[in-house]
Amino acid sequence: MNIFYELAFSFLKIGFFGFGGGFAMIPLMQNAAVYQSGWLTSSQFGAAIALGQVTPGPVAISATFIGYKVAGLPGALVATVAIFTPSLLCMYLLEKFYLKVRGNEITQAIMHGVLPVVAAIILTAAISLARQSPHYFWQTAVIAAVAALAISRRVSYGLLVAGSMAVGILMAFVRV
């Protein structure tokens, strides 16, 4: 039963401190699942994040995969409930109070202060995941092209994902 407490505690912490959404949770999940607990290898963790990106819904659903790898179906349930409970609780409280204070100067200052931290956490997650993947020149070129097109917002994100997949498939056949 101890593993279920560990899963619940780890994913509750991630849920509470993963400000900025799912991508900001990735380094916290990696730290808990790979470095602290040793539940997954770096490669398995990368697969968990990839699976979370393929499925509809938030990145935090990767917790379900991690929980499943650690303790089967009950582990998946514990990890999923634990990671989503803090955000559901926060959303409930915010719904009650935020509408009253959203125009407040202090509230605006807090929101502007948190924004750079969230951006840094997401960048950290991207760098951490990039270290685990194979490095080819074409991958760097695709990353740069997708970043430029996404920042300019001239191309839809769906098209960017589809185009990146097509390039990856093409490059897999070219190397064979």
Residue 80 above 90 pLDDT?
yes
- The predicted structure's pLDDT at residue 1: 64
Among residues 38, 34, 40, 86, which one has the least CA distance to residue 60? 86
- The predicted structure's pLDDT at residue 52: 77
- Cα dist. 161→5, 11, 20, 50 in Å? 37, 29, 22, 13
Q: DSSP character for 156?
A: -
Angstrom distance (rounded) from CA 129 to CA 133: 7
Joined tokens for residue 72: 């089967």
Report, as an integer, the average pLDDT of 133-139: 75
- The predicted structure's pLDDT at residue 133: 66
Report, as an integer, the average pLDDT of 45-64: 81
Angstrom distance (rounded) from CA 36 to CA 123: 21
Q: Where are the domains of the chain?
A: 2-133, 135-176
**pLDDT tens, position by position, 140-167:** 888 888 888 888 877 888 888 888 889 9
- The predicted structure's pLDDT at residue 111: 82
CA angle 68, 71, 75 (to 5 degrees): 65
- Other beta carbons within 10 angstroms of residue 174's beta carbon come to 8
**pLDDT tens, position by position, 68-77:** 999 999 999 9
> pTM of the entire structure?
0.59
- The predicted structure's pLDDT at residue 81: 94
Among residues 105, 167, 108, which one has the least CA distance to residue 141? 167
Angstrom distance (rounded) from CA 149 to CA 112: 25
- Cα dist. 130→31, 39, 145 in Å? 16, 21, 16
Residue 37 above 90 pLDDT?
yes
- The predicted structure's pLDDT at residue 176: 47
Residue 11: how many CA atoms within 13 Å on its side-chain side? 27
